[in-house]
Each structure stands twice: as structure tokens, then as C-alpha cells.
């Protein structure tokens, strides 16, 4: 028997949504992504945790501070989660490997609009979404929406102006030597986006594959402070350092 087509859509065609509106829809992640043209699945992700032994003493101190301070810090808001768990961890990753750390990054001009809590841009792009503990399940739907928005935002070919002196130099170099034909340079499209949703101590990763129009939710959850080294190692591995610092800063 053939599968029946859905009789209604969660997202109305021709309507733009903010990320908070997506969360308020209280719909299944699979339904939201289907309306965005993406398939959804849950499967293990191959997330390699690189060695961060150089940060050993720093991370051990962070772990001890989390345990000591938690009884005195009410975890009643996303802002509390960001300040207590997320920001210190991301700065620890930044101490290990250099990348561009965008805080409250605005994504506009598409079907999905709003602010991404954290957008890390290095060897890969990583979207970080912070939600309340009771919203972790639905929070992955918000993360997925933000990953789609970031993918489409950076996937649009954007034209960057080049200084006339650089343009003349590039023109003399010619296409065979990497010089553009005109005075503009076009960025390549983003092919995949990593994401992680966190409700304070609990973290879960996702992966958007642009070519396959698919988002995968990792089957494993990470817990702070227990998995602090693994989390820092995974994010450090995703960011890498295969680009120059100057390249990253230009993003």
C-alpha cells in the first residue's frame, strides 16, 4: 500500500518564521523538516574527540567549579545555562584551537529568521542552540531549523567587492593563476553544517547534509561535568586549524 501524503503542513508556504515561533509550534521535528524540504533521522554520528591534554588542568578546574557552584546558581533560564555551562566550555575550546566564535548571530532574509545563540566557524561550521531543560526534545527541532537557516544563508552565492588595486593584480594574474575574470569574487556554498543543542548539562549533536537534504540527530547524549573533556575534544576536532587565522577572521 502506498504511503499517504500528509494532508496539512506545519509551516505555511510563503510565510517566514522566527526560531521562537518554530519552537512554539509544538510539532514533531520530522514534520517541521519535511516542510523545509529535509529528511530527518536518528543515528550515531562519527564524532572524533581530539586529544586536549594541554587543557587538562584547566578542564579539571572547570569541572570542580561546576560542581561547587551549581547549588548556588538557580538554573531557571536559558541565560543561566549559557553563562554557567556553554560560554565557559566554548572559550575552553578557543584556548585549544582558533576559530571564529559568533555570539547571537543574526540570520535574516530567508524563510527562517532569528538569532543563533552561538555560531562557530572554523574547519566546519557549528550551530549551538541553548534551550530550557524541559524543552530538550523539542529543542532539537529548533536547532534543526537554525541549521537549515544557516546552511541556506551561507549557501547563497554572495558577491564580495575587491579593492581596485587587488582587482588589477588579480586581472593581470588571469584565471589560470587564480585571478578572477572581473572585480568580484564568489564564495562557494556550504555543503554541511554541524549543530549541538544543549539544555545546560545535557548536550546532543546533529548534522545537516546539504546535498542529501537530510538532518541526522546523534543517538548519544553528553552530560556535564562528566563528559567535559570529550565535549571540548569533539568541538575542537570539528573546528580544526586547517585554515589560516586570517581566513577565519574574514568570515
| pLDDT at residue 209 is higher than 50 | yes
* Number of Cβ atoms within 10 Å of the Cβ of 53: 9
- Would you call the peptide bond into 134 cis, given omega within 30 degrees of 0 as the criterion? no
Distance (Å, whole) CA 128 – CA 117: 6
| pLDDT at residue 109 is higher than 70 | yes
- The grid coordinates listed for 201 are 548539562
Structure confidence at residue 161 (pLDDT): 40
Distance from CA of residue 234 to its chain's centroid? 13
Structure confidence at residue 158 (pLDDT): 45
Pairing of strands 125-130, 192-199: parallel
Contacts (Cβ under 8 Å, ≥6 apart) of 4: none
Contacts (Cβ under 8 Å, ≥6 apart) of 24: none
Sign of CA dihedral 164, 166, 169, 170: negative
Distance from CA of residue 32 to its chain's centroid? 18
Structure confidence at residue 42 (pLDDT): 95
Structure confidence at residue 242 (pLDDT): 45
DSSP 3-state assignment of 246? helix
Distance (Å, whole) CA 32 – CA 38: 9
Q: How confident is the model at residue 195 (pLDDT cuts 50, 70, 90)?
A: very high
Structure confidence at residue 94 (pLDDT): 94
Structure confidence at residue 190 (pLDDT): 63
Q: What residues are paired with 192 via a beta bridge?
A: 209
Q: How confident is the model at residue 48 (pLDDT cuts 50, 70, 90)?
A: confident
Indicate the pTM of the whole model.
0.79
Q: At what angle do helices 56-69 and 87-96 cross, to 10 degrees?
A: 170
Architecture per CATH, domain 38-158+191-249, reads as Alpha-Beta Complex (3.90)
Distance from CA of residue 152 to its chain's centroid? 13
Give the 3-state secondary structure percentages of the chain, helix then strand then coil, rounded to 5. 40, 25, 35
Q: What is the mean pLDDT of the chain?
A: 81
- Per domain, the residue ranges of the chain are 38-158+191-249
| pLDDT at residue 248 is higher than 90 | no
Question: In which element (H, E) is residue 159 found?
Answer: strand 159-161
Amino acid at each position: 500500500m502506498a504511503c499517504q501524503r500528509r494532508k496539512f503542513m506545519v509551516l505555511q508556504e510563503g510565510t517566514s518564521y522566527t526560531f521562537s515561533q518554530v519552537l512554539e509550534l509544538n510539532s514533531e521535528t520530522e514534520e517541521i523538516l519535511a516542510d523545509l524540504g529535509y529528511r530527518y533521522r536518528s543515528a550515531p554520528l562519527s564524532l572524533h574527540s581530539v586529544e586536549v591534554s594541554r587543557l587538562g588542568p584547566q578542564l579539571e578546574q572547570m569541572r570542580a567549579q561546576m560542581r561547587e557552584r551549581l547549588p548556588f546558581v538557580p538554573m531557571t533560564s536559558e541565560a543561566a545555562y549559557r553563562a554557567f555551562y556553554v560560554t565557559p566550555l566554548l572559550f575552553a575550546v578557543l584556548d585549544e584551537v582558533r576559530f571564529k566564535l559568533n555570539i547571537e548571530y543574526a540570520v535574516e532574509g530567508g524563510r527562517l529568521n532569528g538569532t543563533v545563540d552561538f555560531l562557530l566557524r572554523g574547519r566546519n561550521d557549528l550551530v549551538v542552540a541553548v534551550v530550557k531543560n524541559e524543552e530538550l526534545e523539542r529543542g532539537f527541532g529548533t536547532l534543526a531549523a537554525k541549521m537549515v537557516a544557516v546552511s541556506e544563508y551561507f549557501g547563497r552565492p554572495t558577491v564580495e567587492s575587491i579593492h581596485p588595486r587587488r582587482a588589477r593584480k588579480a586581472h593581470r594574474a588571469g584565471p589560470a593563476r587564480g585571478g578572477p575574470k572581473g572585480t568580484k569574487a564568489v564564495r562557494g556554498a556550504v555543503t554541511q553544517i554541524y549543530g549541538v543543542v544543549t539544555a545546560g548539562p545535557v548536550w546532543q549533536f546533529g548534522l545537516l547534509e546539504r546535498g542529501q537534504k537530510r538532518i541526522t540527530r546523534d543517538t548519544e547524549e553528553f552530560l556535564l561535568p562528566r563528559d567535559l573533556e570529550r565535549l571540548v575534544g569533539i568541538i575542537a576536532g570539528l573546528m580544526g586549524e586547517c585554515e589560516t587565522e586570517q581566513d577565519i577572521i574574514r568570515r
